[in-house]
């Protein structure tokens, strides 16, 4: 009996309601007061990258834009700041999806790190254009910790799609 969750397992199709649910949970996690701490990752950016890599036809730039606007309104930041960053990262995730999925999970985290860093750098660029103060180098720790969470996030978000290892003759899938 094989119990590992390797990439060679056949996954069931993802359900669109599950993608929407995970994006809403990530949005709520970004609303928590802990999101302003330096090492807390941008949960919504992480989930957008994950689904744009795994399901580029279902999660694209349009959905990233809508969630970015919701984050801008909730954060009371410059309108379009998160939207621009999330659209860029969704485009990057979708365009690099085949490359990223080729690697094992540890190396996928290394491939995803620049995308997550791009979100922070775009937001810093927007802040610099409007004359805001530099938040410090600790602001750039979030993408590092988000990349470390990539294998765990992959395991959790793909868990509902795994087929059972032992086939049951009475079960269709």
Query: What CA–CA distance (Å, rounded) separates 133 from 107?
Result: 34
Mind listing the pLDDT tens digit for each residue in 37-88? Answer: 878 899 999 999 999 999 999 999 999 999 999 999 988 878 889 999 999 9
Residues 74, 52: Cα–Cα separation, whole Å: 23
What is the rounded distance in angstroms from the CA atom of residue 162 to the CA atom of residue 141?
A: 32
Domain ranges of the chain: 16-161
Q: CA 107 to CA 138: how far, in whole Å?
A: 24
Look up the pTM and report it: 0.86
For the stretch 16-25, contacts whose Cβ atoms lie closer than 8 Å and that sit 24 or more positions apart, written own/partner, are 16/58, 18/160, 19/51, 19/55, 19/58, 19/59, 22/47, 22/51, 22/157, 23/47, 23/48, 23/51, 23/59, 23/63, 23/67
pLDDT at position 135, please? 82
pLDDT recorded at residue 38: 79
Give the CB-side neighbour count of residue 64, counting CA atoms within 13 A. 31
Q: Which residues contact 21 (CB under 8 A, 6 or more apart)?
A: none
Judge contact between 38 and 138, C-beta under 8 A: yes
DSSP state of 146: H
- Distance, in Å, from the CA atom of 37 to the CA atom of 29, rounded to the nearest integer, reads 13
Residue pLDDT, tens place only, 138-172: 888 999 999 999 999 999 999 888 766 666 667 66
pLDDT in the model for residue 1:
41
pLDDT category, 173, cuts 50, 70, 90?
low
Q: Does the pLDDT of residue 127 top 70, yes or no?
A: yes
């Amino acid at each position: 009996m094989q119990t590992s969750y390797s990439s060679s397992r056949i996954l069931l199709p993802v359900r669109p309601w599950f993608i929407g649910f995970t994006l809403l949970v990530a949005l709520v996690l970004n609303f928590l007061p802990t999101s302003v701490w330096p090492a807390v990752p941008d949960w919504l950016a992480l989930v957008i990258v994950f689904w744009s890599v795994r399901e580029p036809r279902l999660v694209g730039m349009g959905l990233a834009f809508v969630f970015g606007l919701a984050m801008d309104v909730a954060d009371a930041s410059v309108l379009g700041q998160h939207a621009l960053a999330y659209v860029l990262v969704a485009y990057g995730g979708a365009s690099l999806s085949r490359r990223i999925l080729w690697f094992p999970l540890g190396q996928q985290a290394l491939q995803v790190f620049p995308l997550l860093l791009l979100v922070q750098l775009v937001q810093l660029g927007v802040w610099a254009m409007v004359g805001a103060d530099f938040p410090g180098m600790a602001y750039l720790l979030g993408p590092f910790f988000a990349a470390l969470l990539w294998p765990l996030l992959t395991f959790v978000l793909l868990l509902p799609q795994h087929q059972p290892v032992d086939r049951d003759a009475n079960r269709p899938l």
